[in-house]
Amino acid sequence: MVIVFKGTSFHDINEWIVDTSFNFEACADQLGAGLAHQGFYSSLFPSASDREMPSTYLRTIETIRSVAKHIHEEAGIPMNLFVGGHSLGAGIASLFYARLLESPEDLGPHTILRDAYCFGTPRGGDGSLASRVEYNLAKPINFKRSLWTVGNRSASTRLGDIIPHLPPGLADQRRFRTAIASGSSLSYAAIGTPIDLEPRGKLPFYRFRSIRCGTRLKVLKLSNSPHHHTQELCLNAKDDDLLFHLQQPSLDDPFFWLNGCFRTLLPFIHDHLPGSYLSSMNKISHTNFT
């Protein structure tokens, strides 16, 4: 199962309010320590005063446990769980994953937690929360799990996607966290292992900015053998699914010109768009693995 939290809708004012709220909220009751971005946190865990607002976290957990139980009864195997999101959804997904690391028993006996993949992730908490997530990921039981936060440097090669730099914060690196007052507007910290997509750079067109101590990465490539499972999936897929990234946009398409304007005038916004992430990943996968 893959749980994905959607990004901000252009027409939903409530989601824009969540995005632009830089206030903190205490989160030790659910996440173990620290302060979390108020908008992201309250989207998962409504306060006691919001009695009419359902708990997104509890409803999601109920669904996961129900599906996992059904799979176990039918096939006798546990269910793998991956988490993902983009933009606002990535911020919420990172806190959702942090809760699962803090309280793995929430998933029940028939679910195996795997990795989280968050694209264009804003900073979701303070240094204390980031340290707590790092502490949980360092446990032996979590050695094969990671929270990947993916950034994009396609049009803006220096700054890249602007959203992972927001809210402004100085606590990304552990050595700076004790020097910043708790609750300060500068105490925001990025959560997870950051990866930058660099389709205009050099092979392999991606870069790990930092990796926690003791982590060993293994990058898999598609095999030329037709017996390779992943290769078989590709061979059986529709041509449109495999070749859409090779198609050139038409000059008559208004989106071609709109994309060009964004790329030229607002490259750091362009790099945040889902289509820009998709384009970067397509180039990386097509160049490296074919």
pLDDT per residue over 173-221, tens digit each? 888 898 898 888 899 999 999 999 998 887 778 888 777 666 667 666 6
Just give the CATH number of 2-219. 3.40.50
Residue-range domain boundaries for the chain: 2-219, 220-289
Residue 215 has a CB neighbour count (10 Å cut-off) of 12
Which residue positions in the chain have pLDDT lower than 50? Answer: 225-247, 290
* pLDDT score at 62: 97
* pLDDT score at 261: 76
* pLDDT score at 242: 38
